[in-house]
Structure 1
Amino acid sequence: MAFAADTFERSSSRAEGLSRFLHELLSIDIGLDEARNAWELGVWGDVLSERQEQKQARGTLKWWTASVKEVKEFMDSPAYQAPELPDLRTELRGDLDAVLDDPDSLTNQFSAGIT
């Protein structure tokens, strides 16, 4: 729907080709793996969230082309994004005692999440 709203006035061969490519990508069979389906919905949710951040909350053909190409690459080789890890070594080098005594330090927050 968002793609159609962004491109309904476009009649170029680029717009038509992108429309066909997106239609083919969205028309593939739905797998039985619940985790894969949830992951794929998350990927498309991220694309639509990024679209909202674009100028006037609309995606250009250039933006849609890049986004759909990226999603296709993700679907060909699905992976989860690596977590953002804090730089614990730098924090510990600063003041080891203060870091270990502070329950809000990155080190203690990270340790609490592991156990």
Structure 2
Amino acid sequence: MKKLIAVLVPLTLALTACVSTNTTMGTTGMQSTTQQLGNTALKIAINAKCTTELNNTAAWQTATKLMTATQKQNIQSEICGCVSEKAPQSVTAVDLATAAIDPAARNTIVTNAVTKTINACVAEAVK
């Protein structure tokens, strides 16, 4: 997990540096491209963290004991997909900038974002 994040953030920053702007794109276009890349990297990290959290939760292990592997995977994909979509909404631009620089902060930001949204997404999936 940490290795994945350690690879994705520098890669995202490197790709952002390669983006060229033309006169019609301007600064606003560059900011939105950077934000999109940052959000994509964040969603990948959040999805990985969500999967880990679910698999390590005793309630999840008990609830999925009688499910087939396909059923378990489908529900896990639904829950973590929800978390990946909702969790970035709780991350500020300052958090994203900090996450790009500080690996410890990145882990904390991802963990907090998953923790804030996973229960709501589990509740949605169970309905």
- What TM-score results when the alignment is normalised by the length of structure 2? 0.28
- What TM-score results when the alignment is normalised by the length of structure 1? 0.30
Highest relative contact order (Cα 8 Å, sep 6+), 1 or 2? 2
The structure whose Rg is larger is: 1
Larger helix share, 1 or 2: 2
